Homo-oligomer: A and B are copies of this chain.
Amino acid sequence: MAKPPKTAITPTRQENYPEWYQQVVKAADLAETSDVRGCMVIKPWGYAIWENIQRQLDAMFKATGHENAYFPLFIPMSFLEKEAQHVEGFAKECAVVTHHRLEPDPEGGLRPAPSAKLDEPLIVRPTSETIIGATFSRWVQSYRDLPILINQWANVVRWELRTRMFLRTTEFLWQEGHTVHSTAEEAEQETRQMLDVYADFAENSMAMPVIKGEKTAGERFPGAVATYSIEALMQDRKALQAGTSHFLGQNFAKAQEIKFQDPSGDEVYAWTTSWGVSTRLIGGLIMTHSDDDGLVLPPKLAPAHVAILPIYRNYDERPDVLAYCEALKKELVAQRFCDEPVRVRIDDRDVRGGEKKWQWVKRGVPLRVEVGPRDVAAGKVFAARRDVGGKGEGVDRNTFVAQISATLTDMQQTLYDRAAAIRKEATVTIDDLGEFEKFFADSAPGGLAYCHFVDGPEMEAQLKKLKVTARCVPVDAEEESGKCIFTGQPSNLRGVFARAY
């Protein structure tokens, strides 16, 4: 079982990072393209990761007082007209429903029935501020009805020209939080609280270090007063926006007539927020940890922590080996990791041993355990940790079981530390435009540059030329006087700049 000379994934990260990414998605059985342009099929292994993300985030949302609800998939076009009138940068690429019936056409096929044309087209939600806001305007009468703290798990559609699995697809799955408050302070606090929840989840569950920060004006959600995001660095040194939280001020409340009577009897507009993360997180997860042998999963999100592979040469050996594996599984699932039973799968499929082993490597299962007749006889298992990529080693079965939780905890930390080290190595402080250009030259590796800046069209123009973006101004940035590297104007905060997904 020596590791073959070549890597399991072709090409390697070094050779062609974007193509490596697609091959990891494929080799790990996470998703595949569908018959509908830009839409993907999320396969069981990929969807199980999403279920883990959902379950953990959902518990965090509920712990912070939010409740789930469900709002219509469709948005009347007039709702978006209202938004388009007051929001510049309004996205118009969306799926438009114009008919409600099909009928046979003369060629024996089908066509949208002309008699069933809708009076008003419906838009498949690209995000739900308008339809949820219209609902909230009915729910809110008095200050006693506030705050409203709602989350929705849903599918959304944005007609994207260039799509990439998980990172940018026409349809994707996400959660969108929408809240209403009686004061600006409370709404701002909510916005920051959810940013913290996202960062906590990214760092602790995904083992993905993130920078929490506020977006510059050009990157703000249309209609928001302030947009915050968590930004992660991928292994190709490009940044990925992994979640956003918006303080919407009274802008949406005014457009949607979300008003309430305050304690003194005056009718005033409410303050709203919205915040979301999506299946894009899975793209971030892949690009943060995976290697040239395929997916690497942090234990907290792995659909299975342990894959047990029974190894036998003939059917005489099978019953003992299988019984041993079943008993091992039983002992393992009785152990707990992060307040949940350890997740174990026995893979007894009729597939060649080497092929089966590599399937589990490519799928990123944290621990691969092989059990043959000699292990049974010796009370051992052959165990390999995916994070360190080694061949594995024989260990005493009882020790393996007793240490499972500690092992998984160590792997989670190892992955975080490694990602943090990569980020640290790719992070620089730059005070000069020339250096900045060199750092982001096509031939350079790039990374995260902390620079003084003054937000505005001049900076935007320079950044566009260099294909670099302002990621955010970290919320924990310390004031420090300096000069904008783009304009020379005085600046007292550094922003983070990077190439980005």
Whether B97 lies near A101 (C-beta < 8 A) is no
Given A36-B76, A135-B34, residue A68 in contact with residue B41 (CB < 8 A): no
Question: A80 at interface (Cβ–Cβ under 8 A)?
Answer: yes
Question: A159 at interface (Cβ–Cβ under 8 A)?
Answer: yes
User: CA–CA, A32 to B157, complex, Å?
Assistant: 24
Question: A270 at interface (Cβ–Cβ under 8 A)?
Answer: no
Question: A92 at interface (Cβ–Cβ under 8 A)?
Answer: yes
Whether A100 lies near B110 (C-beta < 8 A) is no
User: CA–CA, A48 to B93, complex, Å?
Assistant: 33
- Which of A117-125, A333-341, A368-376, A419-427 is found at the contact surface with chain B? A117-125
Whether B94 lies near A100 (C-beta < 8 A) is yes
User: CA–CA, A108 to B86, complex, Å?
Assistant: 12
User: CA–CA, A123 to B93, complex, Å?
Assistant: 18
Residues of A with Cβ closer than 8 Å to B? 32, 34-36, 39-44, 47-48, 50-51, 67-81, 84-85, 92-104, 108-113, 121-124, 131, 134-135, 138, 144, 150, 154-155, 157, 159, 171, 173, 349-351
Whether B93 lies near A101 (C-beta < 8 A) is yes
Question: Using Cβ atoms and an 8 Å threshold, which residues of chain B touch A36?
Answer: 72, 74-76, 122, 131
| Residue among B73, B75, B112 making CB contact with A98, cutoff 8 Å | B112
Given A41-B135, A96-B97, A135-B34, residue A171 in contact with residue B67 (CB < 8 A): no
Whether B70 lies near A35 (C-beta < 8 A) is no
User: CA–CA, A104 to B80, complex, Å?
Assistant: 11
- Listed from nearest, the 8 A-B pairs whose CB atoms lie closest are A44-B67, A39-B72, A42-B70, A96-B99, A100-B159, A36-B72, A92-B102, A96-B112
User: CA–CA, A72 to B34, complex, Å?
Assistant: 7
Whether A349 lies near B42 (C-beta < 8 A) is no
Given A67-B48, A96-B98, residue A110 in contact with residue B77 (CB < 8 A): yes
Question: Using Cβ atoms and an 8 Å threshold, which residues of chain B touch A78?
Answer: 109
Whether A93 lies near B100 (C-beta < 8 A) is yes
Q: Distance (Å) between the CB of A236 and the closest chain B CB? A: 27
User: CA–CA, A123 to B94, complex, Å?
Assistant: 14
* Seed contacts A81-B109, A154-B155; 6 additional CB < 8 Å A-B pairs: A36-B75, A48-B68, A73-B171, A77-B110, A96-B101, A112-B121
Q: Distance (Å) between the CB of A129 and the closest chain B CB? A: 13
Whether A97 lies near B95 (C-beta < 8 A) is yes
| Residue among B39, B43, B77 making CB contact with A102, cutoff 8 Å | B77
Given A35-B79, A81-B109, A84-B110, residue A44 in contact with residue B69 (CB < 8 A): yes
User: CA–CA, A100 to B96, complex, Å?
Assistant: 6
User: CA–CA, A123 to B100, complex, Å?
Assistant: 9
Q: What are 26 of the A-B contact pairs (CB < 8 Å)? A: A34-B72, A36-B74, A41-B69, A41-B72, A42-B70, A42-B71, A44-B150, A47-B70, A48-B67, A70-B173, A77-B110, A80-B110, A84-B110, A85-B108, A92-B102, A92-B103, A92-B110, A93-B100, A93-B101, A95-B100, A96-B97, A96-B100, A97-B97, A98-B98, A101-B159, A155-B155
Question: Using Cβ atoms and an 8 Å threshold, which residues of chain B touch A154?
Answer: 155
User: CA–CA, A32 to B97, complex, Å?
Assistant: 23
User: CA–CA, A108 to B42, complex, Å?
Assistant: 40
Whether A124 lies near B73 (C-beta < 8 A) is yes
Q: Distance (Å) between the CB of A66 and the closest chain B CB? A: 9
Q: Distance (Å) between the CB of A356 and the closest chain B CB? A: 12
User: CA–CA, A44 to B148, complex, Å?
Assistant: 11
Whether B110 lies near A101 (C-beta < 8 A) is no
Instruction: Considering the complex, give the chain B residue whose CB is closest to the CB of A71.
Output: B41
User: CA–CA, A32 to B41, complex, Å?
Assistant: 32
Q: Distance (Å) between the CB of A28 and the closest chain B CB? A: 14
Instruction: Considering the complex, give the chain B residue whose CB is closest to the CB of A113.
Output: B92
User: CA–CA, A124 to B36, complex, Å?
Assistant: 12
Q: Distance (Å) between the CB of A182 and the closest chain B CB? A: 14
User: CA–CA, A95 to B112, complex, Å?
Assistant: 9
User: CA–CA, A425 to B144, complex, Å?
Assistant: 47
Whether B80 lies near A68 (C-beta < 8 A) is no
Question: Using Cβ atoms and an 8 Å threshold, which residues of chain B touch A44?
Answer: 67-69, 150
Given A35-B76, A110-B84, A135-B34, residue A97 in contact with residue B124 (CB < 8 A): yes
Instruction: Considering the complex, give the chain B residue whose CB is closest to the CB of A173.
Output: B70
Q: Distance (Å) between the CB of A395 and the closest chain B CB? A: 30
Whether B95 lies near A34 (C-beta < 8 A) is no
Instruction: Considering the complex, give the chain B residue whose CB is closest to the CB of A55.
Output: B55
